[in-house]
Amino acid sequence: ETYLQTHNEFFVGREELLERIDLPHGKRGTVSLVARQVEVLRDKNKVIEHKLLDLLKVARENEELSSRLHHLALGLLESQGLDDVVASAREQLLQAFKADFVTLNLFPRTQEDKNLHYAANHDVHEHFTDAFESRRPQCGGMSEEDVRHLFGDLQGKVSSAVLVPLANAEPLGFIAMGSREKARFHPGMGTLFLGYLGELVTQAITHCLQVDGET
């Protein structure tokens, strides 16, 4: 083996030897070196083919998500006021991320902030401190208590969930998406597009709050 590794030109001009060399191959008896090499290359090609198919699948999924985020951005741009922004975001998210449940709540800033878009308190912010401090989405791995904070009475129907914090200089609120499928939102899934989602919605809400503050 060592000799052949250091003299890899050994078989040049001696191709007939490749056909005469037999290698043990389990229950199938013996095969020629050429046949064995062909089989090894075929196996390697299968592995490469599977990897390419996986990459193509990821590329298609990313392209689809990019398109859905684009539609979300257009919908947010066309929204008139905070109510329209929240309604548009909820509707788009149910479709874009194939969620069964979507919660979009804001944290009240004043005593007057008491409409349907505002959470009753800051429980979610306090319960998910790490997510709001890092401003990164949290996928899966949630306890029943976590789900209760995000979805309230729906907790028994939610098997997996993701939390997207909304924040600019300070926490604004959160988006929570839930699924009946346990594997839909899992800790290992990518969060890049979820981060973009949070930034888009945050900017739209911030703009509405600034406009309302000026009127």
Report the amino acid identity of residue 75.
G
Residue 41: predicted pLDDT:
76
Residue 26: predicted pLDDT:
53
Question: Please, which residues bridge with residue 131 across strands?
Answer: none
Give the sign of the dihedral formed by CA 143, CA 120, CA 73, CA 169: negative
Contact by Cβ (8 Å): 113, 160: no
Which has the minimum average pLDDT: 73-87, 100-114, 160-174?
100-114
Q: How far is CA 86 from the centre of its chain?
A: 22
The SS3 assignment for 172 reads: strand
- Model pLDDT for residues 81-115, shown as the tens digit of each residue: 888 888 888 888 887 777 899 988 888 776 565 55
Instruction: Please state the rounded mean pLDDT for residues 201-213.
Output: 82
Residue 161: predicted pLDDT:
92
Structure tokens at 140: 């899966």
CB neighbourhood size of 44 (10 A): 10
At a CB cut-off of 8 Å and minimum separation 6, what does 157 contact? 100, 101, 178, 180
Mean pLDDT (the chain) is 78
Q: Which of 45, 40, 20 is CA-nearest to residue 30?
A: 20
Q: Which of 179, 175, 209 is CA-nearest to residue 88?
A: 175
